[in-house]
Amino acid sequence: MKQFKRLLAVLLAVSMIFALAACNSGKDDDQSKTPDSSQDGTSGDKNNDSQAPAWPDGKTVTIVVPFKVGGNVDLCCRIIADELGKVLDTNVVVENKEGGGAIIGQTYALSQAPDGYTILAQTSSFVTNILSGDTEFGMEDSIAIGQYCFDPEIVVVSADSGITTIEQFMEKAKSETLTNSTPGFSTSHHIASLILADAHGLNFDYLHTDGSAEQTVQLAGGHAQCGLTTYGGAATLIEQGKIVPLAICAAERSATLPDVPTMAESGYDFVYGAWRGFGVPAGTPDEVVQILSDALKTVMETDSVVKAFEDSGFPVAYLSAADFQQMMNDDYENMSKVYHLLEQ
Amino acid sequence: MLGNIMAGLGALMNFNTLLFLFIGTLVGLIIGALPGLTGNMAIALMVPVTFTMDPVTALAFLTSIYCSSIFGGSISAILLGIPGTISSFATTLDGYPMAKKGQAGTALGVSTLSSVFGGLFSAVVLMCLTVVLAEFALTFGPAEYFAVAVLGLSCIASIGGKSLTKGLLSGFIGLFFACVGMDPQTGVKRYTFGSVNLLGGITMVAALIGLFGVISVLKSAEKGSSGKDTEAMPEVDNVWIGWKMCKKLLPTWLRGSIIGTIVGIIPGAGTNVATFLAYDVEKKISKDPDSFGQGDPKGVAAPESANNGVTGGSMVPLLALGVPGNATSALFLGALMLQGLSVGPVLFTDHADIAYAIFLAFFIANLLMWPLGLFLLRYMKTILSVPESLLGGIILAFCVTGVYSISSNPFDVAVVIFFGLLGYVFYKFDIPTAPLIVCLVLGSMAESNLRQALVASKGSLNFMWTRPITLVVLLISVVSFFVPIISKAMKAARKRRSPDVVTAGDIAESSTEEMDDD
């Protein structure tokens, strides 16, 4: 009996190890809806008959997300990975390497072989991290593939603040100090507030919370008066009237908030938002970049992807490799002018 | 409301949905039990998968993972002394000693029933009071969060073991480690030594697993080298605890569930605070507080009913206002939006059937946990019959794999080793590790919210007495901190007067951390 129990226990332990292994590989399997998703490359010869280019040749493509599982960027990448796998006829997996303000994941992705099999999920923090001086990589160490999303900042106030228009807001922030809730120090929402305040002489005291959920709760509860945020996180509280959107920091009005004016309409020239795209390590062959860039374009035009993005509140905005690279370079220029604001 | 319940039930009652509820419960249980892997991770990975399911099935599936993963954490906490998730840390305090005494079955039975009770309780609250309680969630600003964090910290006095000095020492070391990383308000880097790995602070799960997992290996290695035979655990008893025990534990379950549900409703307060508080309250009102830490079933029942109470509670602000109460409900928000559903009052007017289907999914998931848990645990408890010297290696392998899988960062493994060695030093000097963990988990919450409260009050400390909730919670914290110290001092004074009387405290002399049975 005792022998049997021991055997059972060892079996249990072994099965737990398998369960663990299954959890990890499950990550991969979830992404692969294509029938020939074997990772050992045996499916390669199948592709030789077709006219498809050699790359990616059935080999797994990894998207490195430098953020937590379940965050906005992660969610976007997982929606895209599924479809990208179908377009490229291979396995596309998402790997999360969070921490260090995204530096850990960014460094990891850019130090991989420049063969296109490792893609970095690039966000605004890529540029700000380089400016912070904490990174070993620079702007020249990545090549853009394309942008898929641009999420403009929205100036919002708590319903309790009594402010209803952007003019009122600017007036009040000039004459007194408003408490400004952010999702954390040096996040894009914080930087946007700093730039706005610097340009127009506004006075803010910052409440740096931990994440956009906490930021919006503080606004909804009236514990902070104003803030800059993106639509997705604040949508339900805006619908309930607990948070009031005043203006959107984009070139055009948003389809989801048609009544909210742009900053430019109100006479303030300010376009700012969180951009999201992909890049590969410098040295990746041009034709591979082209294949990836074209595939991303196809993905972002797929109905199911567009719907998933819309429903999640992420505005789709595709930019080609060249345009995205230009945009990042511009962003770097603009940010280097205002970066000193963070260091005060 | 009855109509809505029937509509929700109708939406749930199909083979596919029920199958996913079952799978979710099973998956959650296993993921929760593996040290390092959390239900959060499982849910995050499943959210994109649920995109193709219909809304009710998708949410029922996620709900069942959520509920059972919280319960699953208690399995490794009891059997191995390693909390599967941070929220089952308090369960180790009494669950592991119970297992050492040969009551592993009872401990697992208690934790199963407590989890089911807590889960069902919060599901009832969720169903009946969501709309009423939602507004309460918004009254919490930085000042209130700070007070809640202090209340959580105050319990270190009672879980700090026999020496107050050593307990406080451990707590302060914990607070120090909580300082590591970027300053939340100014972005200044503290104790990062130029490493980007420390910018975000110390990975909590890695530190916790180091303190619990590595140390058990070192202890058994120590025994092996001292020439003593490493013995397998004594025979384990039945997982069914009997009605008498249930009746005895009912008040504990109720208190635990209420604490859990309330803390769950407050967005951002977190499951961990709830378990610390529930354990602490139970110990303070107990007639025999010294039995806590020695394997008191109530010490398992309180945190386990509390952490499952949080599950339903955390959905209250999410469903009623669209405000996620914790990291897991933030993932639910993502899943709901991905389905094209908006949360908040509109959910109840436009999609009442879905809202009530979620409520009922909570019920069914918790009910499923009962038979499934009791059945699986009958086999799982036999893991204890593996000799300790063999088990140690397996545990270590699990801990390292689990921690590495959090963010595939080798640095986290180094954190495990560091805290493992630190834990061993603590063990050698007989310093309790429990206060360190409480302070590590709550330190940054207290700091960040104090700083925010000070910004909001323009640098004045008056928020501590001008805001009623803050004031009350802070006063309770003071009482909670000093009561155990004073009662200990009084007991010592009485002992000095009559040295012949041996109190229960002396028999149970060893600290909470010393769980050795030899």
Residue pLDDT, tens place only, A10-19: 445 545 444 4
Local confidence band at A53 (pLDDT 50, 70, 90 cut-offs): low
**Whether B191 contacts B179, CB under 8 Å:** yes
Report residue A64's pLDDT band, with 50, 70 and 90 as the boundaries: very high
Q: Topology of A154-271 in CATH?
A: D-Maltodextrin-Binding Protein; domain 2 (3.40.190)
Contact B179, B505 (CB under 8 A): no
B321, B331, B409 member nearest A97 (Cβ) = B409
Tell if the CB–CB gap between B321 and A9 is shorter than 8 Å.
no
Do A99 and B409 lie within an 8 Å CB cutoff? Answer: yes
Is ipTM > 0.90 here? Answer: no
Q: How far is it, in rounded angstroms, from Cα B336 to Cα B357?
A: 13
Three-point CA angle A82, A28, A319, nearest 5°? 35
Q: Within chain B, how many helices (H) and strands (E) appear?
A: 23, 2
pLDDT of residue B226: 65
Q: How far apart are CA A37 and CA A52, in angstroms?
A: 17
Query: Which residues share a beta bridge with A151?
Result: A274
Phi, psi dihedrals of residue B344, rounded to the nearest 5°:
100, -170
Interchain proximity B196–A134, CB inside 8 Å: yes
Q: Is B57 exposed, middle or buried (0-12, 13-18, 19+ CB in 10 A)?
A: buried
Interchain CB distance below 8 Å, A23 and B268:
no
Backbone φ and ψ of A206, nearest 5°: -95, 135
**Percentage of chain A lying above the pLDDT 70 cut:** 84
Query: Residues B442, B443, B449, CA angle at the centre, nearest 5°?
Result: 90
By C-alpha distance, the chain A residue nearest B269 is: A214
Contact B385 A9 (CB under 8 A): yes
pLDDT bracket for residue B233 (50, 70, 90): low
Residues belonging to chain B: 518
Q: What is the 3-state secondary structure (H, E, C) of B491-511?
A: HHHHHHHCCCCCCHHHHCCCC
Q: Are A56-151+274-343 and A154-271 equal in CATH topology?
A: yes
Higher pLDDT, B496 or A46: B496
Distance CA A208, CA A187 (A): 9
Q: What is the pLDDT of residues B4-35, one digit of tens each?
A: 888 888 888 889 999 999 999 999 998 888 88
Q: Tell me how far CA of residue B243 lies from CA of A314, B246, B249, in angstroms.
A: 53, 5, 10
DSSP 8-state secondary structure symbol assigned to residue B49: H
Most B CBs within 10 Å: which of A106, A217, A343, as the mutation test of the B interface?
Answer: A217
Decide if A9 contacts B28 (C-beta within 8 A): no
A107 contacts in chain B (CB < 8 Å): 196
CB neighbour list of residue A316: distance below 8 Å, 6 or more residues apart: A148, A149, A300, A305, A306, A309, A310
- CB pair distance less than 8 Å for B338 and A75: yes
Q: Are A226 and A178 in contact (CB under 8 A)?
A: yes
Decide if pLDDT at A192 tops 70.
Answer: yes
A107 inside 8 A of chain B by CB: yes
Judging by beta carbons within 10 Å of its beta carbon (0-12, 13-18, 19+), is residue A246 exposed, middle or buried?
buried
Cα B218 from Cα B399, distance rounded (Å): 14
Between vectors from CA B428 to CA B435 and to CA B402, what angle results, nearest 5°? 65
Distance (Å) of CA A239 to CA B131, B330, B342: 16, 18, 10
The whole-number average pLDDT for the span B267-278 is 83
pLDDT band at B43 (very low <50, low <70, confident <90, very high): confident
User: What are A80-95's pLDDT values in tens digits?
Assistant: 998 999 999 999 999 8
A97 touches chain B (CB under 8 A): yes
Q: Are A118 and A64 in contact (CB under 8 A)?
A: yes
Q: How far apart are CA A322 and CA B138, in angstroms?
A: 46
Min Cα separation B200/chain A (Å): 5
Q: Which residues of B touch A193 (CB under 8 A)?
A: none
Choice among A226-240, B58-72, B384-398, B489-503 with the minimum mean pLDDT: B489-503
List the one residue out of A62, A64, A68 whose CA is nearest residue A120: A64
Please count the helices (runs of H) and the strands (runs of E) in chain A: 12, 11
Q: What DSSP string runs through B167-180?
A: HHHHHHHHHHHHH-
How many CB atoms sit inside 10 A of residue B81's CB? 21
Q: How do beta strands A204-208 and A61-65 pair?
A: unpaired
Closest residue in A to B397 (Cα) is: A17
- Report the percentage of chain A scoring pLDDT > 90: 53
Say if residues B17 and B57 touch (Cβ distance below 8 Å): yes
**Per-residue burial over A126-163, b = 16 or more CB atoms within 10 Å of its CB, e = otherwise:** bbbbbbbebbebeeebbbbbbbbbbbbbbbbbbbebeb
At position A90, the amino acid (one-letter code) is T
Please give the residue that has the higher pLDDT: either B376 or A173: A173
Contact (CB, 8 A) for A341 and A333? no
Query: Does any CB of chain A come closer than 8 Å to the CB of residue B380?
Result: yes
Query: Phi/psi of residue A246, each to 5°?
Result: -105, -45
Look at residues B284, B279, B287, B289 and name the one whose alpha carbon lies nearest to residue B259: B279
- Give the model confidence (pLDDT) of B451-462 as tens digits: 999 998 888 888
What is the per-residue pLDDT for B234? 55
Mean pLDDT of B152-157: 84
- Closest by Cβ to A308, choosing from B321, B338, B397: B338
CA distance A252 to chain B (A): 24
Distance CA B299, CA A203 (A): 51
First to last CA, chain B: 58
Classify burial at A108, counting beta carbons within 10 Å of its beta carbon; exposed 0-12, middle 13-18, buried 19 or more.
middle
Q: Is A180 helix (H, G, I), strand (E, B) or coil?
A: strand
pTM (2 decimals)? Answer: 0.81
Contacts of A215 (CB under 8 A, 6+ apart): A181, A182, A183, A189, A209, A227, A229, A233
Strand ranges, E, within chain A: 61-65, 92-96, 118-123, 142-152, 154-158, 178-182, 204-208, 226-229, 243-248, 273-281, 316-319
- By CB neighbour count within 10 A (0-12 exposed, 13-18 middle, 19+ buried), where does A51 fall? exposed
Chain A residue with CA closest to B143: the answer is: A223
Could you tell me the residue ranges of all domains in chain B?
A: 2-507
User: Where does the pLDDT of residue B480 fall: very low under 50, low under 70, confident under 90, or very high at 90 and above?
Assistant: confident
| Average predicted confidence (pLDDT) for chain A | 84
Distance from CA of A287 to the nearest CA of B (A): 30
Distance between CA atoms of residues A231 and B96, nearest Å: 47
Identity of the residue in A16, A30, A308 whose CB atom sits nearest the CB atom of B34? A16
Q: Is the pLDDT of residue A279 over 70?
A: yes
- Kindly report which listed range (A114-128, A321-335, B190-204) carries the lowest average pLDDT score: B190-204
B187: nearest CB among A205, A223, A342: A342
CB atoms closer than 10 angstroms to residue B188: 10
Write the single-letter amino acid at A14. Answer: V
The DSSP bridge partners found for residue A182 are: A208
Model pLDDT for residues B416-458, shown as the tens digit of each residue = 999 999 999 999 999 988 899 889 888 888 999 999 999 988 8
CA distance B443 to B68: 28
Return the DSSP state at A262.
Answer: B
pLDDT (mean) for B282-292: 87
Q: For chain A, give every domain's residue range.
A: 56-151+274-343, 154-271
Position B228 confidence tier, pLDDT thresholds 50, 70, 90: low
For the segment B469-483, the average pLDDT, to the nearest whole number, is: 90
CATH topology of domain A56-151+274-343: D-Maltodextrin-Binding Protein; domain 2 (3.40.190)
Residues 140-199 in B contacting A (C-alpha not used; CB under 8 Å) = 140-142, 182-187, 196-199
Q: Regarding beta strands A273-281 and A118-123, do their DSSP bridges make them parallel or antiparallel, or are they unpaired?
A: antiparallel
Question: Mean pLDDT across the stretch B258-284?
Answer: 87
Report the run of H or E that residue B190 belongs to, with start and end.
Answer: strand B189-190
pLDDT at site A35: 40
- Buried/exposed code over B12-25 (b: 16+ C-beta within 10 A; e: otherwise): beeeebeebbbebb
Q: How distant is the Cα of B495 from the closest Cα of chain A, in angstroms?
A: 47
**Helix B104-138 to helix B242-265 angle, to the nearest 10 degrees?**
30
Q: What residues 28-67 of chain B have any CB closer than 8 A to a CB of chain A?
A: 30-31, 33-34, 37, 40-45, 47-49, 51
Looking at the predicted structure, is the pLDDT value of residue B505 above 50?
Answer: no
CA–CA separation, B420 and B216 (whole Å) = 9
For A129-146, what is the mean pLDDT? 92
Q: How far apart are CA B368 and CA B64, in angstroms?
A: 9
**CB distance from A306 to chain B under 8 Å?**
no
Give the mean pLDDT of B373-395.
Answer: 77
CA distance B405 to B49: 20
Handedness of CA B134, B138, B144, B148 (dihedral sign): positive
Q: Mean pLDDT score of chain B, rounded to an integer? A: 84
Q: Give the amino acid at B328.
A: T
Contacts of B440 (CB under 8 A, 6+ apart): B174, B175, B177, B178, B202, B204, B207
CB contacts < 8 A (A, B): 202
